[in-house]
Structure 1
């Protein structure tokens, strides 16, 4: 009666690298660029660019004012900036994206709003590779 098959619901989701998900909670505002090697979920507001080697999720109450670069992205909230993902980009629910998209694959729900240009597959590859090189150079400059 009280047993649940979903006992792991409270545990952070693990990525293939074994890292947990980083959460930017509702009511939190961060100003500045974020560099992450693990999944990132944004339910607050980010004013700055996001560079991730994993998945970036912008929750229903989340907002990003800057560019997002990552392996995958799932947008349910608001993004004012370009989105560059190597694999799958999902625009879900009542999300709003104002900026250009560069993605290997794109999935858009009918209720999503997108204003910008879309570059997919081979057309997106050179831009994504340049973004990854620039992100590594920026990270190395910050660490020095």
Structure 2
């Protein structure tokens, strides 16, 4: 019983620290965190947090990076998704795709990436424009229904 109480108390505490992966650190695998994350080592895998990610000058991520505010002074090979802003510093290297609301690229940065505006997911319930059918019974085009149509055609 004591462990269950302790566990629930710990989960309600929001961490306000930074997870730091030092130079010389090397990891193969995915990282999911509730903290800010700073990478100075090498990570071969996906890195996900709802907070800030900093890829330092000696940092390298070979995988997808997802966070709120992403600063890259090292190297990322993969998809970068920032819900707020992506900053690529003068020593930053990005190869892949960048989806972000705002981007800043300093002179000297090496960017070989497809850069796209991050679109927030559309809530079909609260947005009648994307509902499955119109009022008059006419079907509106909806990308969400396409897999359903494909499934029906495969079954027949």
Tell me the TM-score normalized by structure 1: 0.72
Query: Whole-Å Cα distance in 1 between the matches of residues 91 and 46 of structure 2?
Result: 22
Q: Is the 8 A contact 2:15 2:34 kept in 1?
A: no
Of 67, 75, 79, which aligns to 1:78? 75
Bigger RCO of structures 1 and 2 (CA < 8 A, at least 6 apart): 1
User: Which aligned runs of 4 or more in structure 1 are off by greater than 3 angstroms?
Assistant: none
Q: How many residues align?
A: 109
Question: Is 1:58 the equivalent of 2:55?
Answer: yes
Note closer, same or farther for the CA distance 1:88–1:29 as it changes in structure 2 (3 Å cut): same
After superposition, residues 79-118 of structure 1 pair within 5 angstroms as 79-118=76-115
Query: Whole-Å Cα distance in 1 between the matches of residues 58 and 16 of structure 2?
Result: 24
| Structure 1: tracts of 5 or more residues without a match | 1-16, 128-144
- Bigger Rg, which one: 2
- Note the aligned Cα RMSD (angstroms): 1.5
Match of 1:4 in 2: none
